[in-house]
Amino acid sequence: MKKIGVFTSGGDSPGMNACIRAVVRTAVHKGIEVYGIKRGYRGMIKGEITRLESNSVSNIIQKGGTILRSARSKEFTTKEGRREAYEQLQKFGIEGLVAIGGDGTFTGANIFYEEFGIPTLGAPGTIDNDLYGTDYTIGYDTAVNTALDAIDKIRDTADSHDRVFFIEVMGRDSGYIAIPCAIGGGAEIVMIPETETTIQSVVDTLRTGWDRSKTSFIVIVAEGDEEGNAADIAAQVQKTLPYMDARVTILGHVQRGGAPTAADRMLASQLGIACVDGLLAGRKCEMAGIINSQLVYTPFIDTITKQKVINPYYIEMVNILSV
């Protein structure tokens, strides 16, 4: 293999630039030409492909977002779109790809290989940390620390004004951000998609705390919780406990931005190198990850279909520590 391409796809996450940097410099170190593909599969179809050298990725390891940009592509979901992407790669002689993204990115790469034989290695780039085959994903540590910093500031206000704050964090299908935020932020309640937490149980916990003279509370809500978003939940609780001053804060996309932590820079760099090494070793349709401090490669099909389960003890920790 003499030429490879690298791209980012789906939602951006802090540390993607560190991974791009690692891919480029590893390829250069091994005498491989490397091309950056802008805007994911959409840019691949349009031929937004540029040769990258070592100095092309200087001074980016500390930056959030992705220098290659990211986009979703409906066109790539069609056979015709994928054929156009393949033809663009052929123009540049690209023989393999490194995809930095999540399950949607890897699903597309899997189909692309089946149809056109372009091998792809994946680096898990998502703040949600919900990909099977790795303990942590690129951007997760930064997102948690960003959210936790905001929660600490909100608690100051909650304490000063005797308020209940319902804080919504990202996690459409996963509570991986919510759980450490609840434990690290000293929250009284956490609501995540993986477990059922009813409105009544929230009311009971808040009422019990109030009855023993506790006057401020933090409730962490993952955006995908089955009871609804933070605003809906707060409104329902307020009807039952009108004497409590309930407020809502939605942290939203602030969790995706900012300079990556040292942990994310290390992880992204390690996985970027592993992707290039994997391609050169003949691997295909696999995601590089770290499990128990060891590098592993997991087939895309497993990453896409298998569920990554949250340790139930972490949920119990919230209950124990909120007393």
Q: What predicted TM-score, i.e. pTM, was given to this entire model?
A: 0.96
C-beta atoms surrounding 38 within 10 Å: 20
Closest CA to 7 of 25, 17, 302, 137: 17
Q: Is residue 310's pLDDT more than 80?
A: yes
Q: Which burial class, exposed, middle or buried, applies to 46 when counting CB atoms under 10 A from its CB (0-12, 13-18, 19+)?
A: middle
In single-letter form, the type of residue at position 188 comes to: E
- DSSP-derived pairing of the beta strands 49-52 and 33-37: antiparallel
192, containing H or E segment:
none
Question: Is the distance from CB of 45 to CB of 83 less than 8 angstroms?
Answer: no
Q: Is residue 216's pLDDT more than 90?
A: yes
* Angstrom distance (rounded) from CA 101 to CA 10: 6
Question: Is the distance from CB of 300 to CB of 101 less than 8 angstroms?
Answer: no
User: What is the average pLDDT score of the chain?
Assistant: 96
Proportion of the chain above pLDDT 90, given as a percent: 95
Q: Any binding-site annotation on 27?
A: no
Q: Is residue 140's pLDDT more than 80?
A: yes
* Angstrom distance (rounded) from CA 236 to CA 247: 12
- Phi/psi of residue 146, nearest 5 degrees: -65, -45
Q: Is residue 67's pLDDT more than 90?
A: yes
Q: Any binding-site annotation on 163?
A: yes
* Angstrom distance (rounded) from CA 29 to CA 35: 14
Q: Is residue 238's pLDDT more than 80?
A: yes
**CA distance between the termini of the chain:** 59
Q: Is residue 50's pLDDT more than 90?
A: yes
Which residue is listed with tokens 């308020």?
163
Q: Residues 154, 158, 162, CA angle at the centre, nearest 5°?
A: 175
* Angstrom distance (rounded) from CA 303 to CA 100: 14
**How much is the average pLDDT of 238-245?**
95
Q: Any binding-site annotation on 104?
A: yes
Proportion of the chain above pLDDT 70, given as a percent: 100
Query: Could you report the per-residue pLDDT of 92-109, keeping only the tens digit for each?
Result: 999 999 999 999 999 999
Residue 130 confidence (pLDDT): 93
Q: Residues 9, 222, 138, CA angle at the centre, nearest 5°?
A: 35
* Residue from 128, 130, 225, 264 carrying the catalytic annotation: 128
Q: Which CATH architecture describes the domain 3-139+260-305?
A: 3-Layer(aba) Sandwich (3.40)
Query: Could you report the per-residue pLDDT of 181-195, keeping only the tens digit for each?
Result: 999 999 999 999 999
Question: Is the distance from CB of 14 to CB of 64 less than 8 angstroms?
Answer: yes
Q: Check if 245 is active-site.
A: no
Confidence of residue 204 (pLDDT cuts 50, 70, 90): very high
C-beta atoms surrounding 163 within 10 Å: 18
* Angstrom distance (rounded) from CA 321 to CA 296: 34
Q: Is residue 70's pLDDT more than 80?
A: yes
Q: Any binding-site annotation on 64?
A: no
Query: Could you report the per-residue pLDDT of 125-137, keeping only the tens digit for each?
Result: 999 999 999 999 9
Residue 3 confidence (pLDDT): 98
Helices 140-161 + 262-280 axis angle, to 10: 160
Q: Any binding-site annotation on 296?
A: no
Superfamily name and number for 141-256: Phosphofructokinase domain (3.40.50.460)
Closest CA to 124 of 108, 110, 136, 113: 136
Query: Any residues with CB less than 8 A from the CB of 70 and at least 6 apart, and which?
Result: 8, 9, 10, 11, 12, 16, 39, 40, 101
Confidence of residue 294 (pLDDT cuts 50, 70, 90): very high
Query: Could you report the per-residue pLDDT of 1-28, keeping only the tens digit for each?
Result: 999 999 999 999 999 999 999 999 999 9
Q: Any binding-site annotation on 115?
A: no
- Comma-separated ranges of CATH 3.40.50.450 domains in the chain: 3-139+260-305
* Angstrom distance (rounded) from CA 222 to CA 169: 5
Confidence of residue 319 (pLDDT cuts 50, 70, 90): confident
Q: Is residue 323's pLDDT more than 80?
A: no
Query: Could you report the per-residue pLDDT of 262-274, keeping only the tens digit for each?
Result: 999 999 999 999 9
Confidence of residue 176 (pLDDT cuts 50, 70, 90): very high
Confidence of residue 314 (pLDDT cuts 50, 70, 90): very high
Instruction: Tell me the torsion sign for CA atoms 149, 132, 278, 56.
Output: negative
Confidence of residue 84 (pLDDT cuts 50, 70, 90): very high
Query: Could you report the per-residue pLDDT of 244-260, keeping only the tens digit for each?
Result: 999 999 999 999 999 99
In single-letter form, the type of residue at position 193 comes to: P
* Angstrom distance (rounded) from CA 265 to CA 260: 6
Residue 173 confidence (pLDDT): 87
* Angstrom distance (rounded) from CA 201 to CA 106: 38
